[in-house]
Structure 1
Amino acid sequence: MVKKLGISVLALMVATPCLATEDSQLVSETVIRIGGFYSNSNSTMDVTNPILGEDFKIDFEQDLNLEESQFLPFFEIFHHFNDKHLMFIDWKQLHRSATVQSLSTPFQVDLDDKIFDVKLGSQLKTTLNIDIARIGYGYNFYHGNNFNIGVSLGLHAMFIKTGFEGKVGTCIEGENIDDCGIAAIPNVVDEKITAPLPDIGLYGTYEFSPGFSFRAHAQYFQIKLDDLDGRLIDVRAGIEAEISENWHMTAAFNYYEVDVDYEQKSGIDDVNIANYNLSYSFIGPMLSVSYRF
């Protein structure tokens, strides 16, 4: 963790989004940026075999056919109050769903505070959505005619939605698995939101030629709350080109990684029902366009 944080802080010295590079005459400015890149996902869930009573791992990509590589969009807004202060909001998402025609092994999950027995040989549609939202404040503590370096403070929240649709049995707590009712459930969904937790970073930008700026940033945060443990690393460096007075385009290299471990427990005995291990990462180019006014 310390090593990753050190790498992030070092990268942060290069910088973020859309900080003013002109001079201290900037009164206020709002920048909206939309872009995307392809993510590589690896998501597993530690579940229980209701027949054998043994734990095993379900792989969302291999066993449940969720896409491993997918386009990941992002959306960012920055508002500069002057040459030193700014507020920002950003959002990233990974939404996936897939259907398998049969399951080789049944398993139990705890969704919406109920235990569900996913039956052997059933057709199953799986949904796994992760959204990450952030709001924060930036302060430019060092700037010149063509560069800025600043520090940021932010709050992150992760929205995780897990859903199953197909042949699923509903089990009452303590009930024998053979007595569980079997029904075609239209859509069983479990939604979880992490508490907003803080992160800190550095950013900067350097205008090396009129209309062209080198920008980069790195962010790091880690979540440790009750049965949830997660972290995010985001390092980006690239060139922003001015298309017109209001429109800009950015080509950058991005390293992005999110890992979430979540333990689901149920019952008086505090038994593990499903442990989620969710992660997706990306290393490669990204493109975005921004409009400022």
Structure 2
Amino acid sequence: MKKTAFLFLAAIVLSGCGQKKAEKLRLEGISCTGENRFSCTFDGVKHDFIVDMPDNTKNSPLVVLLHGYGDSAEGFRNGIHFEEKANPLGYAVVYVTGASSARDNTSASGWNSPAAPNDNKDTEFLTALAEYLQKEYSLDKDRTYAAGFSNGACMMHTLAKKADGTYSAFACAAGYMQPNIWDKRKGSDVSFFQLTGENDDFVPKESDGTAENNPAPSIEKVIEYRKSSINADTSDSCEVGNGSVLSKYENSETHRQVWELTVKDGGHSWYSEKYNGFDATELILDFFETQK
């Protein structure tokens, strides 16, 4: 009996010794393709990224920006020029291009979509990219943030769940939480800023009935989840722009915050001073500034 038990234990030990720990994926083939422009591969998938750095990068905060479906780092940068207001404040900024679906290489560039939430390893890639930039430019590891628009905004909720050890605050402009993230939600001690247009049908809302037949959770439920996750105990609200309402919730001990902006008559866009009476970039930077 003892001999049998010994042999069984030995088999388990030998089996464990034969198993190699999965090697952490890293960025590969990083090359400069132009001024501040780079390309790399991750898990065999090619990505481009553009870096805009302040004069001094040591201990600078980092903002990673994700475009909407079908766009690119170059197109997103040309559309919002986040770096023009972020760099003078000391922020490092990187625009990143997504990839076609691994299941359909004819599809446009994007991020893990509701249709294929477990497609490319976007979370792992964006984690590896942030860690690479932190080391390469001596950035502040405790102040690594992400912001996205539309499909890139949806990715904010994914990163908040799966990469909260790397990213500590997120801004989601015109995006929603994917059902697979909602169904597996847990406490999430991160700061989060949600910007939603009243007339944006892309984001499911109880206020206009668009959440009724949508498998994704309503943005109202998501905000309640975010508030409860940080145990918010203070709140404040104010009007910005052309009648938009900005609500702020905070945990007075940890200083984690949840901001919610409901954009008056807002559609599916990166909100601007010209059309909405405020600049989304400025508000997002205001939000990140509170994380210091």
TM-score, length of structure 1 as denominator length: 0.23
Larger Rg, first or second structure (1 or 2): 1
TM-score, length of structure 2 as denominator length: 0.23
Structure with greater helix share of residues: 2
